[in-house]
């Protein structure tokens, strides 16, 4: 008999994951605009994003040690408390230095709270349905990232002036999620293990995952600039279609995994991803681009949760927060470093070369992944 996945505790945990990620999604897409408001320079918006991401990445490196002393619930509440403080600070800050300090505090809070909210959500998933549950937990992030920028732009208005209102909305959301987190049932702490070999296995898988996100970063960071060069119109539909396909794919993930097995499915999805990214270099109109959103959404929607699941499998259930932090580190470093490296590639060689090279690098990733699968999983 199939174990029940959609228990009320699990649904509640998905709400927390969604709410935590909304704090990131609301601001990240408009920081370049706010940098211009404070300093008349869009470059400062890049610093606002970088400070946040580095802070989140830094604190995740210490999640394991923190989780050995404090439960997931305590860390979640602490992270959300930092987020509330940062939200208040955004409303009060009127110079760039003060704002960057609160961006750093928000990054710390986000790094802790999202990691622990995700770990708590995975705790509620029956072991026999863990790979499926991990996918739906990721969907809570996907939905927040899909609607967050749209909501932010609507709040800002046509002239992008209502930043105080946006920060106030962030404060309200953060306060509500903080209140809800007090009712979470999770006293799990990370158990110390004498054999650290399992932890290293998770890091090895995350290194392969890093390569995949590094290549995906070429799509996320430079597609708008590339299509602008091609004189395309608004390509927002591409990202919307990707998000929709990604979300829908999660409902069929378990059946597809049962048919192919994780190793073979990872290989197939990586090939689809590589071909789709390569074809971006040869698009001639918006319709062709929108068509590619379907295989890209399908491949990333199924492949990334598989990496998450494989990393989680390498640790004791009490160390889900640690495994989740490894996964998010691979995600953050891949997207962050990809934005820089692919920027140089596009500058010197053009966007078409960028996407061809990214696709070839995924082929290299496939080789590494199959070797790691044989050794680790």
Instruction: Provide the pLDDT for residue 87.
Output: 95
For residue 37, the model assigns a pLDDT of 76
Q: To the nearest 10°, report the CA torsion of 99, 105, 111, 113.
A: -120
Percent of the chain scoring above 70 in pLDDT: 94
| Topology of domain 195-377, CATH | Growth Hormone; Chain: A; (1.20.1250)
**Of 46 and 168, the one with more pLDDT:** 168
User: 164-183: per-residue pLDDT in tens?
Assistant: 999 999 999 999 999 999 99
Which pLDDT belongs to residue 197? 54
Res 332 pLDDT > 60:
yes
Mean residue pLDDT across the chain: 85
**Res 169: pLDDT:** 94
Check whether 187 has a pLDDT greater than 80.
no
Percent of the chain, pLDDT > 90? 32
Do residues 152 and 166 lie in contact, with contact meaning Cβ atoms separated by under 8 Å? yes
**Which residue would you say has higher pLDDT here, 112 or 23?**
112
What residue segments make up the domains of the chain, in order of their start? 1-190, 195-377
Q: What's the confidence (pLDDT) of residue 314?
A: 83
Highest mean pLDDT among 17-26, 97-106, 319-328: 97-106
* pLDDT 10s digits, 214-266: 888 888 777 877 888 888 877 778 888 888 888 888 888 888 888 998 889 99
Condensed to tens digits (0 to 9), the pLDDT of residues 345-359 reads: 888 888 899 999 999
Determine if the pTM surpasses 0.75.
yes
CATH 1.20.1250.20 fits 1-190, yes or no: yes
pLDDT value for 17: 92
pLDDT of the residue at 364: 93
Same fold, 1-190 and 195-377: yes
Counting Cβ atoms within 10 Å, is residue 133 exposed (0-12), middle (13-18) or buried (19+)?
buried
Query: What pLDDT is stored for residue 363 in this prediction?
Result: 93
Closest C-alpha to 309, from 275, 239, 261:
261
State yes or no: pLDDT of 44 exceeds 80: no
Query: Comparing 132 with 274, which gets the higher pLDDT?
Result: 274
Q: What crossing angle do the helices spanning 130-156 and 163-181 adopt, rounded to 10°?
A: 150
Predicted confidence band at 194 (pLDDT cuts at 50, 70, 90)?
Answer: low
Task: Report which of residues 59 and 158 the model is more confident about.
Answer: 59
Residues 57-75: what's their mean pLDDT?
88
Locate tokens 């709410």: which residue?
Answer: 19
Measuring CA to CA, how many Å separate 326 from each of 322, 332, 339? 6, 10, 20
């Amino acid at each position: 008999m199939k174990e029940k996945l959609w228990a009320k505790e699990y649904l509640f945990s998905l709400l927390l994951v969604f709410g935590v990620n909304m704090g990131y999604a609301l601001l990240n897409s408009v920081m370049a605009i706010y940098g211009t408001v404070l300093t008349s320079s869009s470059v400062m918006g890049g610093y606002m994003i970088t400070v946040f991401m580095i802070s989140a990445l830094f604190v995740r490196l210490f999640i394991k040690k923190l989780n050995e002393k404090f439960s997931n619930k305590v860390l979640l509440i602490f992270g959300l408390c930092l987020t509330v403080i940062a939200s208040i600070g955004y409303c009060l800050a009127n110079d760039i230095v003060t704002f960057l300090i609160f961006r750093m505090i928000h990054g710390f809070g986000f790094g802790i709270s999202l990691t622990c909210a995700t770990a708590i959500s995975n705790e509620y998933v029956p072991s026999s349905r863990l790979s499926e549950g991990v996918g739906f937990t990721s969907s809570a992030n996907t939905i927040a990232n899909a609607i967050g920028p749209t909501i932010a732009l609507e709040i800002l208005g046509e002239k992008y002036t209502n930043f105080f209102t946006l920060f106030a909305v962030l404060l309200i959301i953060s306060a509500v999620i903080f209140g809800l987190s007090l009712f979470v049932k999770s006293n799990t702490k990370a158990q110390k293990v004498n054999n650290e070999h399992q932890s290293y296995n998770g890091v090895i898988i995350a290194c392969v995952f890093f390569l995949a996100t590094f290549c995906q970063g070429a799509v996320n960071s430079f597609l708008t600039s590339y299509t602008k060069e091609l004189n395309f119109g608004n390509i927002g539909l591409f990202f919307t279609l990707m998000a929709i396909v990604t979300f829908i794919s999660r409902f069929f993930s378990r059946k597809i995994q049962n048919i192919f097995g994780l190793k073979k499915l990872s290989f197939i999805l990586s090939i689809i991803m590589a071909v789709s990214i390569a074809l971006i270099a040869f698009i001639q109109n918006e319709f062709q681009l929108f068509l590619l959103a379907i295989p890209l959404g399908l491949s990333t929607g199924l492949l990334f949760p598989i990496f998450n699941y494989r990393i989680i499998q390498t640790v004791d259930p009490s160390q889900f927060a640690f495994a989740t932090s490894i996964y998010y580190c691979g995600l953050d470093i891949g997207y962050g470093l990809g934005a820089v490296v692919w920027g140089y590639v596009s500058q010197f060689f053009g966007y078409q070369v960028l996407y061809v090279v990214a696709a070839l690098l995924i082929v290299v990733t496939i080789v590494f992944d199959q070797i790691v699968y044989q050794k680790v999983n």
